[in-house]
Structure 1
Amino acid sequence: MRTILAGSALVGLALCSAVAGVARAAEPSPELIAYGKTLVEAGDCAGCHTADPAKPFAGGKRIATPFGAIYAPNLTPDRDTGIGAWLDADFVRAMRTGIAPDGSNYYPAFPYPYFTKMTKDDTLAIRAYLGTLAPVISRNKPPELRWPFGYRGLMRVWNAMYFKPGLFEPDQSKSAAWNRGGYLVTGLGHCGACHTPKNYFGADKSAQALSGNKVAGWFAPRLDGAARTGLKSWSEEDITEYLQSGRNGKSHAGGPMAEVIVNSTSKMSDADVRAIAVYLKSLPPARRETIVTPPDETEMRAGQAVYAKLCVACHEADGSGSPRIYPPLPGNALLQSVNPSSTLRIILDGAHTVTTPRAPNTGEMPPYARQLSNEEIAAVTNYIRNSWGNAAPLVTPAQVAKARKGEANGQ
């Protein structure tokens, strides 16, 4: 009997040791956690999932959509209000199919239509990093969507019509850098979530990928190869510098893109940022550029008068500015965009050049919302959008008034 009991005890000890060994083996390595951190930064997860900087990734940030607002959920490992009780399989399914652990559907403001292209290993690396965060008790807030969009069951129909699950498929005829850039742009980086036009139901117009879209009162410009309003005139070096520092010799980042650069692309590796540049520079124009009717002489003279009074000191009479301090205006792709929202926001609200480790010096443009009328802002906008070889559709005082109302409403 003693022998049997002793043998049983030995077996039990062996099993406990084996289980403990499995548990230890399952713990993510420091290397995996560090890699997951780089992926979280590349995906700018904190940009949506942090409402209070003192509580990173604890959710609660309000995200406006054309259908109402949703609130980003808690990604910290709190077991009751975060993702601490999730299995790895739960996390992978949420990221790659948009389905929560309880079987309900997420709304595509959570960019699972892009994250579906990520590998399982990368997805689990993100999970490993998030598991190292300090748990925060932060209960998820229900969405504030207009009827009938609050019914999550409708997402099954939406997914059937617009969601195409599947990994990023490398193109063997392209370079490793191009494929890495494609993986980041179309997957983890979810660039199309802002830069691709949407249809009536909020789905990407895939045939017009990365050809510009209005976002939160701004216009996310074209990232395709359009000559006047896209990246045709930008080199790979221009794109790389912009993503790493928030400025280059052609433009400065503002609005939502400034936040992306500060929180995401400026922290990415040189190789990954260069890969994004390689991929973007390869894209042809996704749609034709708009035929422009130039402003009449009266409108141009009115705009020139405002420009001479308020803008020449920094941007010079010829619009050349001081690259990387005051952005040049001739050939400026964002300035010539069909949608003038970003230009109007900058004139109304002013602008602050972002500070990054590669470009710590700041620049500032004052706001003119109180100083200029709608007519004056429309005139100067038309002048700078149609001078020095630029060409862009006319902006009306009514458009300025609408942008001004958006400012007042905090949109």
Structure 2
Amino acid sequence: MKRALLNRLAHGVLLAACALTLAACGREESSTSGAAFTSTPEQVARGRYLTKAADCAACHTAKDGAPFAGGAPLASPYGTFYGSNITPDKDHGIGNWSADDFYAALHDGNARGKRLYPSMPYTSYRQLSRADTDAIYAYLMTVKPVALANRENELKFPYNMRFGMALWDMVFLKDALPDASAGQSADWQRGRYLANALGHCAECHTPRNVFGQLVDAKPLSGAALGRVVAPDITPAGLAGRGWTAADLQTFFSVGIAPQGSAFGEMYPVVHLSTQYLNKDDVRALSVYLLGDTPPAPQPVKAVDADAAQLAAGRSVYLAVCAGCHGLAGEGKPHVAVPMNGNSTVRQADPHNLLVAMLDGIDTQKFAGLEDMQAMPAFASTLSDDELSQLANYLRATWGGQPANVAAADVKALR
């Protein structure tokens, strides 16, 4: 452990030294184009669709804020990033940007001479075509300009030294991301573009290394996001939790599937982005995630667990959960999702399940008339022991997972 820590510190010192050397060589110049940009109604309409597919609003629209005016916080181990104003306001937004400037930001992480942090996923958007980037630019130039100043990021040292990103890009920025599935069909190819470029799925679902770069050897295999975990969405990971292509398509279009509903970090992805994808793109996205030859969905495995331990958890379930989720974990439409076969319950890592029980889940509104009632938080009403017993009952009974959640695991997440 000490050797690993020393190696990381040594690498960090080397990185900082190289970054300072680069900074001493001079600052980057602003890159603007004198070419006029003229858009068409068709291009603007396509840009509106692509902007939703790229989920731009999730980071660039604050809660109760004006569309694309920035200010949404993104917490990370490095500090807090804030989405920038990308309305066509000339003082605070991108109103003075050319289409070339916009392309450079999305493709190279270079915002008119200012290096972006990869919290803005140019590491994925780099794969966008120039035509699609221009369409997004054309649409953003039509939204209402908002004169709202950008909020400065609140980052720890040395991550607040933005010039170090020049070296980071030199070492880690790639033209393509590795695939987690296999395929060659037209749907697979389109889905690859939707997932890896527009949807930037890897930014949350692929683990990162010590310098924040994506681990190429583990694409879409799941990653820690603070207290929660972005689950494994490889073909094996999805099939292991019972997902089929049809279920994925329903989930992306509506937000609810037999495996559960979108909540937490995934709720705005569905609410602001995937529900607006057309049927062909939803199908393509599911084909890419599962591959041209998808693995068979796996049934919930029987688990050999201590009967006395499960009895304690069952008592908690009957007292506070069964009224909504059902005695047999079958759930209730428009009230609560099933626990039997629930994707979160079936995850090997219990973090998401525990955080949902501790924090609760807000009322969820989905496409059409679909919705789910709010789930109360149990952090103040159930003890660590009771929550761990409940989690173990759910996991062993309906998730095919071992009853190995300890009270200390719950306490660590409070």
**TM-score (structure 1 length as normaliser):** 0.83
- The answer for the alignment partner of 2:40 in structure 1 is 29
Over 3 Å counting, the alpha-carbon distance change for 1:362 and 1:329 in structure 2 is: closer
Aligned mates of 1:32, 1:211 — CA distance in 2: 35
Structure 2 gaps of 5+ residues are 1-33, 296-301
Counterpart selection for 1:66 from 77, 98, 103: 77
CA 1:206–1:325 in structure 2 vs 1: closer, same or farther (change >3 Å)?
farther
Change (3 A) 1:220 1:167: closer
Question: Letter of the aligned partner of 2:309 in structure 1?
Answer: E
Quick one: which amino acid aligns to residue 265 of structure 1? T
Moved more, 339-348 or 33-42: 339-348
Which of 86, 103, 116 is the equivalent residue of 1:75?
86
Separation in 2 of the partners of 1:360 and 1:396? 35
8 A Cα contact 2:95 2:141, kept in partner: yes
User: Shift of residue 173 of structure 1?
Assistant: 6.6
Give the stretch that moved more between structures: 129-138 or 214-223: 214-223
Distance 1:303 1:112, change over 3 A: same
Superposition map of 1:113-132 within 5 A: 113-132=123-142
Deviation at 1:260, TM superposition (A): 1.0
The alignment yields a C-alpha RMSD, in angstroms, of 2.8
Q: 1:94 to 1:172 in 2, by over 3 A?
A: same
Shift of 1:76: 0.6
Name the stretch that deviates more: 276-285 or 135-144.
276-285
Does structure 2 retain, via aligned residues, the 8 Å contact 1:374–1:397? Answer: yes
Give the conservation status (yes or no) of the 8 Å contact 1:318–1:388: no
Contact 1:212 1:222 in 2 (8 A): yes
Contact kept in structure 1, 2:82 and 2:153, CA below 8 Å = yes
CA distance in 2, matches of 1:335, 1:254: 13
Structure 2 partner of 1:300: 310
1:208 positional shift: 1.2
**Residue 103 of structure 2 is aligned with which of 92, 95, 103?**
92
* Rounded Cα–Cα distance in structure 2 between residues aligned with 1:209 and 1:304: 37
Q: Does 1:253 align with 2:262?
A: yes
**Which ranges in structure 1 are unaligned for 5 or more consecutive residues?**
1-22, 286-291, 405-411
CA contact (8 A) 1:337 1:392 kept: no
Change (3 A) 1:389 1:86: closer
Which range moves more in the overlay, 197-206 or 377-386? 197-206
The 1:168–1:193 alpha-carbon spacing in structure 2 relative to 1, beyond 3 Å, is: closer
Aligned residues: 374
* Counterpart code for 2:285: I
1:295 Cα offset (Å):
5.2
1:369-408 maps to which residues of 2 (within 5 A)?
369-388=379-398, 390-392=400-402, 394-404=404-414
Change (3 A) 1:61 1:266: same
Between the two proteins, what is the percent identity of the paired residues?
Answer: 37
Residues of 2 paired with 1:106 and 1:32: CA distance?
26
CA contact (8 A) 1:196 1:212 kept: yes
2:164 alignment partner in structure 1: 154
The equivalent residue for 1:7 is: none
CA contact (8 A) 1:338 1:393 kept: no
Flag the 1:269–1:152 CA change in 2: closer, same or farther, 3 A: same
Q: Conserved in 2, the CA contact under 8 Å of 1:211 and 1:224?
A: yes
The offset of 1:237, in angstroms, is: 1.1
Amino acid at match of 1:193: E
Structure 1 equivalent of residue 243 of structure 2:
234
Residues 124 and 212 of structure 1: is their aligned pair in 2 closer, same or farther, counting only changes over 3 Å?
Answer: same
Shift of 1:243: 0.8
Give TM-score scaled by structure 2 length.
Answer: 0.83
CA 1:299/1:199 → structure 2, altered by over 3 Å: closer, same or farther? farther
1:281 maps to: 290
Q: Contact conserved, 1:223 with 1:231, CA < 8 A, in 2? A: no
Give the secondary structure class of the aligned counterpart of 1:386. helix
Higher Cα radius of gyration: 1
Partner Cα separation in structure 2 for residue 151 and residue 346 of structure 1: 36
**3-state DSSP class of the match of 1:214?**
strand
